[in-house]
Amino acid sequence: MAKFLLFIAVLAVVYWLVRASNRRGRPPPAARMPESMTQCAHCGVHFPRDESVSEGGRDYCCEDHRRLGVRS
């Protein structure tokens, strides 16, 4: 009987983990910025994400700033 209860508990934990990971994989639409703006990691200017040059998870406003990298 104790093993049966343990089995049920394991199933419940697995079910909870699957639900949690599904929720993390699909962020709600409200989490996105309305205009989809981003900031250049080098000069700090704001511009539409569509025009960004990305590298290493950072956005840059142009190819030159991507090459120069993050301003230190």
CB atoms within 10 A of CB 12: 10
Size of the site for Zn ion (CB under 5 A): 5
Write the binding mask 9 to 48 for Zn ion: x where contact by CB under 5 A, - elsewhere: -------------------------------x-xx-----
Could you say whether residue 66 binds Zn ion (CB under 5 A)?
no
**d(C-alpha 52, C-alpha 7), whole Å:** 50
CB of 59 to Zn ion, least distance (A): 9
18-24 long-range contacts, Cβ below 8 Å, gap at least 24? none
Q: Which residues bind Zn ion (CB under 5 A)?
A: 40, 42-43, 61, 65
